[in-house]
Amino acid sequence: MLNEIERVLLTEEQLQEKILELGHTISEDYYDKNPLVICVLKGAAPFMSDLIKRVSIHIEMDFMAVSSYGTSTVSSGEVRIIKDLDASVEGRHVLIVEDIIDSGLTLNYLLDLLRRRKAESTKIITLLDKPHHRKVDLKPDYCGFEIPDEFVVGYGLDYAERYRNLPFIGVLKPEVYNR
């Protein structure tokens, strides 16, 4: 697997250092708010898992699975709910955890859904922001790194469901896409 990586964009150390910082910020901003922290599966699972361990206030967790990419590197534009939340968000301070914002379509859809379900507040934390291909006007409230316009894998991010288990963020060798 490692021989399929062309370049490491963000090392494990860089990711963990940033996550520690983000955890402190969330702990301060949500002090006494008991936020409902929602992980957008599958990509955000590693980030969610590391982030919550750096948050020092009470939180609750929930999970939602949506998909718009399938096996492609380009968003289909159509967001499908694969798994819905277990509990109601009505009156809750919701923090949505994402691995990456690219076109913005996934989060635009989720934000709209959670607001219609009467969440008290909705904020977004994303590990990566790739602002070049935005199709909707959407900015994260908290962001780890802004990255260049390249398809990245690792630390939850996949290409055709693979590479999610890499501990860093990297770029694949071009020949991997031609297989």
Can residue 68 be called a binding residue for Mg ion (CB under 5 A)? no
Is position 152 an interface residue for ligand HPA (rule: CB under 6 A)? yes
Q: Which residue is nearest to ligand HPA (CB)?
A: 102
Instruction: Quote the least distance from Cβ 68 to ligand HPA, whole Å.
Output: 8
Residue 107 near ligand HPA by CB under 6 A: no
Residues 29, 86, 102, 137: which is the catalytic one?
Answer: 102
Q: Which is nearer to ligand HPA, 151 or 177 (CB)?
A: 151
Question: What span, in angstroms and rounded, lies between the C-alpha atoms of 62 and 133?
Answer: 28
Nearest alpha carbon to residue 87 among 64, 69, 105, 110: 64
* Residue 165, amino acid: N
Our finding on whether 102 is near ligand HPA (CB under 6 A) is: yes
Measured CA to CA, the distance from residue 19 to residue 52 in angstroms comes to 9
- Which residues, including other chains, have CB under 8 Å from residue 4's CB and lie 6 or more apart? 163, 172, 173, 176
Q: Does 104 bind ligand PRP (CB under 6 A)?
A: yes
- DSSP run (H or E) holding 112: helix 105-116
Cβ-contact 92, 120 below 8 angstroms: yes
142 to 171: interface string for Mg ion, x by CB under 5 A: ----------------x-------------
Q: How far is the CB of 157 from ligand HPA (least distance, A)?
A: 4
Per-residue b/e over 138-174, b at no fewer than 16 CB within 10 Å? bebebbbbebeeeebbbbbbbbeeebbebebbbbbee
64-83 binders of ligand HPA (CB under 6 A)? 69
84 has catalytic annotation: no
Interface with ligand HPA, residue 109, by CB under 6 A: no
For residue 68, what are the CA distances in angstroms to 10, 105, 155? Answer: 25, 8, 19
What is the number of the residue whose Cβ is closest to ligand PRP? 43
Q: Which residues bind ligand HPA (CB under 6 A)?
A: 69, 100, 102, 151-153, 157-158
Active-site positions read 102
